[in-house]
Structure 1
Amino acid sequence: MEPSRCPRLHEAIPMNRYDDIYNRLEHWLLTHIASMGSTNGGCRQAFELKRIHSLKVADETVAIGRGLGLEPPALFLARTIGLLHDVGRFEQYRTYGTFNDFTSIDHGDLGERTVAANGLLDDFDPFQREIIRKTIRYHNKMSLPSDESEAVLFHAKLIRDADKLDIYRVVSEREVVPGALPSQNTIAESLLEDLMAGKKVGYMHLKSAAEMRLMHISWIFDINFEPTLRLIQERNYLEILSAILPSSERIDAFVRKARQHLAAQKPPAS
């Protein structure tokens, strides 16, 4: 896990404006989603899933941020990033009919362009705008660049944790996710070998819903902050996901490894 220290942000925006700015951005996002409405039921379902996800991730950034003891300017910035992190998803799905970045367009890159094209960050200073733009761009990448500023990397890690946390909610609450993989219980041995070796696995390598669930479990090794792990533990996400996996000696061994990693982390505060 990463240290929880956040680079101090100066208060470029008065605290009494935080709610007004956030509410304006939320209104824009909801209007943007509605403007892409479709009579296609699958499209409506996909948009609703991502609408809720965007709002939930914003909430999760606050939950994690408070656990880290972030000050109000950093919390406000994190919440804004959470709200806008998937803004590219809606144009992606409307244009390509999929959330698959590898057969359509990178939604992080598209989100950064969407934010810039619509002047959404006019209330922020150049330093804050750079953090928001870059974290939207980086939030879905396999790894983060090593040559970025401390502030960008901190907020990128925070949004990646919050994103994973809400995806855990989504996949724990439903058996079928719009745009997901075939609901098969097959898991390739090569995938298991990569995961057991500690390698990251991207969506492009997945062939079944069971493989996706196993990849989600593997995210436990890519969580950056202790408060995120605590929330995963409190919500029993690993137990829920592992219960719907097929059982085999190697699958069970990987699940045990993930559980042991989670159990070894700092226990919840009393």
Structure 2
Amino acid sequence: MDRRLFESMDNFFTNYVIGFYSDDEEINFNLKLKEEHTKRVCSNIISIGKDLGLDESDRALANTIALFHDIGRFEQFTKYRTFSDVRSENHSELGIKVLNETHILNKLTNYERDVVIMSIRNHNALSLPEMEDLKALTFARLIRDADKLDILGILSDFYQNPQNYEHLKVGESAKIYGVSGNVLESIMNFQNIKYSDVKSSDDMKLLRLSWIYDINYKYTLVKVREKGYLEAIINSMPKTDEILKVYELLKGYIAQKTAGE
């Protein structure tokens, strides 16, 4: 994919997003958050791609996936005032609808377009489907890593400085504490936590930490470790024996996966 083609898509994205801003402070705060998130995910995916040795063409395609992975969020929040897919619509499918209706991907090859759509559709899935196309699988893994890396950063800052996020809608559960049995069992067994098992704010925090098991590339885990995202989220939770065990488990997992970097 040509880098100049990405630049035209970047201009489209900017103009598309501008159309959703209004005089509503809450809407503008949340849309700006997603716009800035998108730019950071683009930066993340380029950094991870370079670390993997992707050529310029493949990095441009990865950047396109990152640029459009959350484009459905702008319609979603404006219409429903939530980023919760459960309480509104699947933002990935909303985004794919936007891309299809605007024909912005028409200048890509059929293969490139299919990879972009597939990667967006699966970027927020619990797990990736089986794929025989290893190149397509790489792109799907890249966007999941780049996205999770930035979300963990946003949440780490949010938990440490909630006063800066007065208008943030993060889809939190009821403000009750404690860890549910299914949630603890999943994370202690190196499994991603299901949203259906989440019953409390602490459950939601552990769900986000369980994303660490789904990170695909060493580069991403190194960044999670270096930026202290695990500690930031753990420190926002009660210092119970359960939470301390989770922390030691995840810390050890990251250390094992990043050994010798």
TM-score of the pair, normalised by structure 1:
0.87
Point out the structure with the larger helix share: 2
| Cα pair 1:192 1:251 within 8 Å, conserved | no
Deviation at 1:43, TM superposition (A): 1.1
170, 192, 200: which one pairs with 2:154? Answer: 170
State the one-letter code of the partner of 2:258.
Answer: K
- Greater Cα shift, 242-251 or 190-199: 190-199
The within-5 A match list for 1:94-105 is 94-105=78-89
Deviation at 1:158, TM superposition (A): 0.8
What is the alpha-carbon distance in structure 2 between the residues aligned to residue 92 and residue 152 of structure 1?
27
212, 227, 231: which one pairs with 2:223? Answer: 231
Deviation at 1:54, TM superposition (A): 0.5
| Cα pair 1:168 1:216 within 8 Å, conserved | yes
Q: What's the Cα RMSD here?
A: 1.8
- Greater Cα shift, 155-164 or 63-72: 63-72
State the one-letter code of the partner of 1:106.
Answer: N
Q: From the superposition, tell whether residues 268 and 48 of structure 1 become closer, same or farther in structure 2 (CA, over 3 Å).
A: farther
Question: Which residue number in structure 2 is paired with residue 217 of structure 1?
Answer: 209
Structure 2: stretches of 5+ with no match in the other structure: none
139, 150, 155: which one pairs with 2:139? Answer: 155
- Does 2:102 align with 1:121? no
- Does 2:169 align with 1:179? yes
Deviation at 1:97, TM superposition (A): 1.5
Deviation at 1:22, TM superposition (A): 2.3
- Does 2:29 align with 1:45? yes
Structure 1: stretches of 5+ with no match in the other structure: 1-12
Q: From the superposition, tell whether residues 137 and 98 of structure 1 become closer, same or farther in structure 2 (CA, over 3 Å).
A: same
Deviation at 1:203, TM superposition (A): 3.5
What is the alpha-carbon distance in structure 2 between the residues aligned to residue 26 and residue 200 of structure 1?
33
Deviation at 1:62, TM superposition (A): 0.7
Question: Which residue number in structure 1 is paired with residue 241 of structure 2?
Answer: 249
TM-score of the pair, normalised by structure 2:
0.90
What is the alpha-carbon distance in structure 2 between the residues aligned to residue 183 and residue 128 of structure 1?
43
| Cα pair 1:230 1:268 within 8 Å, conserved | no
- Does 2:195 align with 1:203? yes
For each residue in 1:41-70, what CA deviation from the matched residue of structure 2 results, as whole angstroms up to 9, or x when unmatched?
211111011000111001000111111111
2, 14, 20: which one pairs with 1:36? Answer: 20
